[in-house]
Amino acid sequence: MARTKIPAAEAFELPELNGEMLTANQNVMATIQSSHSEERDLVNQMLGQIQMSRAISKFTDVVSLQKLKNIKETKMYRALSGQKGFDREGNEIADVGTFDGFCRALGTSASKVDEDLKNLDVFGEEALQQLAQIGAGYRDLRKYRRLPEGEQAALIEVAKAGDKDAFLDLAEEIISRHAKEKTELTQRLDEVNADYEAQGEVMAKRSGELDQTKMELEKARKRIQSATPDDVIKDLRSEVVALSFEIESKVMGALREGFTQMAEHASETGQDHREFQADLIRQLETTLATVRSEFHLPASLVNSAPVWMKTEEA
């Protein structure tokens, strides 16, 4: 059986390469690799310098802190991404290219470095060195950071003199005063909050009473709307009678008791208070006469018993 003849594939042209562009891309990649390598070498170099500095000095080394601050802000530690390392105890660090891993490679921790950088930001290089020389520890520096700037400056001035005892005395005095002021402010704040709570309770009570009054008024309004004229006037008369009884009880009770005490005082001292008392009675009579005149009420009743005391009006 004869083989089938396979047709030859058509020839196609390869795209022409741009030599200049290819060369430029190769140069860029070489530059990036070189830059990355240089940055990584720089971080490694700084890592070694910081490790050496911290091995020599047990306390904060400001030069090292400045380098650490720059590394953290620029994130240069990422140039070591993917590299493993070991901490001072020989424990493996999975990635030195993180800030935590970088700090562990230095023999410290990220939280410790952050604490150092806070002190550097608050006190500055010179002051931090002076405080370190005077023997101020981390706990002390944390307390000093909370002080106002003026009191911080006073401590630094004493630290410059190098007198540790004078520095400690001043620090204790300032911190004690600051704590006392803080306690007083807290107490005042508690008192203000207590006042607000009391006012809130009063307002809540008043609001409740107001709501209750509104509800009662609404009930009364609906009752009046649905009531007959006889029911309405009966309710109104009951309310007016209650007010009349209240006024009469005030006159015959509290007012009369006051007049009695004034009479006793007049008897003991010989002073005459009757004119003053008469003026009060006259004022009450004038007030009642005004109401009588306004509503054109008769001056006297024909019947002996008041209308509101009759059985049919009850």
On whether the pTM is more than 0.75, the answer is no
CA torsion 116-118-122-123 (nearest 10°) is 0
Q: Which two tokens stand for residue 251?
A: 């006159």
Read off the pLDDT of residues 285-297 as tens digits, 9 standing for 90 and up.
999 999 999 999 8
- Give the DSSP H or E segment for 86: strand 85-86
Which residues lie below 8 Å from residue 223, measured CB to CB, with a gap of 6+?
235
Quote the DSSP letter at residue 147. S
Cβ(171)–Cβ(140) below 8 Å: yes
Residue type, 286: T
pLDDT in tens for each of the 314 residues of the chain?
444 444 444 443 434 444 444 444 344 344 434 445 666 666 666 666 555 444 434 434 565 788 888 888 988 888 888 888 778 888 888 888 899 988 888 888 889 889 888 888 888 887 778 787 777 778 888 888 877 777 777 877 777 777 677 777 777 787 777 777 777 777 887 777 877 788 888 888 888 888 888 888 887 777 767 777 787 788 788 888 888 888 899 889 999 999 999 999 999 999 999 999 999 999 999 999 999 999 998 877 656 555 555 545 54
Q: pLDDT at position 255, please?
A: 92
How far is it, in rounded angstroms, from Cα 67 to Cα 74?
A: 11
How far is it, in rounded angstroms, from Cα 26 to Cα 31?
A: 9
How far is it, in rounded angstroms, from Cα 88 to Cα 104?
A: 8
Q: pLDDT at position 119, please?
A: 86
Domain boundaries, the chain: 29-108, 230-262+308-314
Q: pLDDT at position 14, please?
A: 38
Cβ(83)–Cβ(44) below 8 Å: no
Q: pLDDT at position 40, please?
A: 66
